[in-house]
Structure 1
Amino acid sequence: MNTRLSESYTYCQQLAKQTAGNFYYSFLALRKEQFQAMCVLYAYMRTVDDLGDQSGLSLDERGTALQNWRRELYLVLEDQSDPDAPPYHPCFPALRDMIQRYRIPRDYFFAVITGVESDLQPVTFATFEQLKEYCYHVAGVVGLCCIHIWGFHDERAFAAGVECGIAFQLTNILRDLAEDIQMGRVYLPQEDLNRFEYTRSDIQSQIYDERFRELMQFEVDRARSYYQSSERLFDYLSPEGQRILKAMHRIYGGILTEMERMDYNVYATRCGLPRWRKLLIAGEAIVAARWFS
């Protein structure tokens, strides 16, 4: 591995360690090459997300930043310029190497940019089908990238990987409801709000009542159905993939359980597992990797 490529992998690993929280430790359940690839994938996804959420920039400036990122990504992947030279981002050399190594379709990485770009305007979805399309761009394709890194042996893993990403993204949406409305984003479909006679202004005012509890129970049940459906992915993955997927299912699924315990009052506090519990889950995955690999 040349020096600049090695530096790029090191950059991605450091970024993941600093910002991925406990998920970074669950990556350690993978083989070294897979661990490095997951850090690169995380670094790429995190950077794109940050470009769309830069509070110090206007919406137009964020849009321009994402357009520039898309253009640079295209040039790097097409080998039309030196990926190690300025102004290219330090994750790009490792990203190109990872994509080639694991034969990950390039379209996935452009799809994420499209998803983040859609967040630059006030977010509303009329139907769940529209929301599901958004979830594919920002999370489903992440699941597809992961199964290439982890290893799979059945093409049915593709659909299951997308469903797993959707399950995780629906969990994020429910957890971050109060935070997102402050940025003009309401991801819950209008058809669902209408069904429970709950409005966008009710979310803005953080109205916690029976309508809201019924709405949230409906959405949590839907998210759980995606977790259950995506469980078939375990049958298509390598042992390494099974271990890390189990850890991620337990962490994200635990957030839904926490919402239920709080009677769905996500306005009161941001739901999440305590740090010790996430570390325990990640630690169990690492121990399993050491004993059964």
Structure 2
Amino acid sequence: MELTRARTVQAPPLGCDPADLAQVEAVVSASGTSFGKGMRILPPDRRYGMYAVYAFCRLVDDVADDDGAAEDKEARLEAWRQRIADLYAGKTHDALDRVLAVVIARFGLRQADFEAVIDGMMMDARGPVVAPDEAVFDLYCDRVASAVGRLSVRVFGDASEEADRVAYHLGRALQITNILRDVAEDSRLGRLYLPRELLTRFNVPLDPARAPRAQGLEGVCRVLAGRARDHFRAAHRAMARCNRLAMRPARLMGATYGAILTAQERQGWRHPERRVSLSRPRKLLIAVRALVG
């Protein structure tokens, strides 16, 4: 008698239609970032969960960055707010919606965190952010970074208060690092995210075109770099009280951005147009240390 082996048919991640998953992954791939590669450390369900969260963030960010009238961008972002509300009411319209609906249910994602991300994009859409006061600066960092973190830690596998604390601090650390690295690029877009109080303290003009050339810029950025360091340390203390496996992607992001901040501090801000970056071998070494340390 000839014996036949039963073939095991592996279910697609999250139980979603493979075509829907492919469309979501295509948004990630089209972004040109290393995000997709970084999320390969996650098991398939969580990896595609993060792809869906990233795709949402990427698409609303594209609205804020598009050319066009502020009114048009605001209307498109309000459409996204309604789209998120529809998901929580059980209504879906396309591939991303269908995958996000599963991710929301599987990982317990909160509607308020999606809405906070949209609110952050709305701040950019209404006109360039120029020298916000400290309260608005912190609110912006929370909406565009820490809110994404609050969604992410749940997909990673930890929905505890300590995980939210990781999101609070790590999100701010990453966003401040990005702002410090992109001072010159943002100025060309008419943006100046550095806090008004610090700019005034160091006699830096509240003008995106003039601020990058001001002598006091170094002092402003050194203060903010120290603030980012404080947030990195607080995030790592909170990580130690979280599910260790779930925090692997957070440790990786923290280590990578911490190294970028170190490189920026070494270079300084006398020539902010020289954007710092990490070599591939350096990134690999950082990843290994973060994941096994």
Smaller-chain TM-score bracket? 0.7 to 0.9
Match of 1:225? 230
| Deviations 1:57-80 (CA, angstroms, capped at 9, x unpaired) | 32222222112222222223212x
Match of 2:186? 180
Instruction: Return the TM-score normalized by structure 2.
Output: 0.86
| Deviations 1:109-151 (CA, angstroms, capped at 9, x unpaired) | 1111111011122313553222111111111111111111112
Query: CA contact under 8 A between 2:131 and 2:206: conserved in structure 1?
Result: no
| Alignment partners' CA distance in 2, 1:18 and 1:30 | 20
Equivalent AA in structure 2 for residue 131 of structure 1: F
- Structure 1 residue 53, shift from structure 2 partner: 0.8
Structure 1 SS opposite 2:245: helix
| Alignment partners' CA distance in 2, 1:153 and 1:115 | 22
Structure 2 unaligned regions, length at least 5: 1-11
Q: How many residues align?
A: 280
Match of 2:156? 150
Query: CA contact under 8 A between 1:139 and 1:169: conserved in structure 2?
Result: yes
Query: CA contact under 8 A between 2:199 and 2:217: conserved in structure 1?
Result: no
Equivalent AA in structure 2 for residue 33 of structure 1: D
Match of 2:7? none
- Structure 1 residue 4, shift from structure 2 partner: 6.7
| Alignment partners' CA distance in 1, 2:285 and 2:23 | 26
Query: Please, which of 35, 39, 50 is the counterpart of residue 38 of structure 1?
Result: 50
**Pairing of 1:95-244 with structure 2 (within 5 A):** 95-120=100-125, 121-152=127-158, 154-201=160-207, 203-204=209-210, 206-209=212-215, 211-244=216-249
Change (3 A) 1:203 1:231: farther
Matched, 1:59 2:70: yes
Query: CA contact under 8 A between 2:177 and 2:257: conserved in structure 1?
Result: yes
Structure 2 SS opposite 1:21: coil
Equivalent AA in structure 2 for residue 66 of structure 1: L
**Larger mean Cα displacement after TM superposition, 274-283 or 97-106:** 274-283
| Alignment partners' CA distance in 1, 2:73 and 2:248 | 37
Query: CA contact under 8 A between 1:153 and 1:236: conserved in structure 2?
Result: no
| Deviations 1:7-29 (CA, angstroms, capped at 9, x unpaired) | 22222223223426223222111
Q: Which structure: larger Rg?
A: 2
Structure 1 SS opposite 2:191: coil
Larger relative contact order (CA 8 Å, sep ≥ 6): 1
| Alignment partners' CA distance in 2, 1:237 and 1:282 | 19
- Structure 1 residue 184, shift from structure 2 partner: 2.8
Matched, 1:73 2:84: yes
Equivalent AA in structure 2 for residue 31 of structure 1: P
Query: CA contact under 8 A between 1:37 and 1:149: conserved in structure 2?
Result: yes
Change (3 A) 1:171 1:198: same
| Alignment partners' CA distance in 1, 2:158 and 2:15 | 31
Match of 2:60? 48
Q: What's the RMSD between the two structures over aligned residues? A: 2.5
| Alignment partners' CA distance in 2, 1:3 and 1:240 | 23
Instruction: Return the TM-score normalized by structure 1.
Output: 0.86
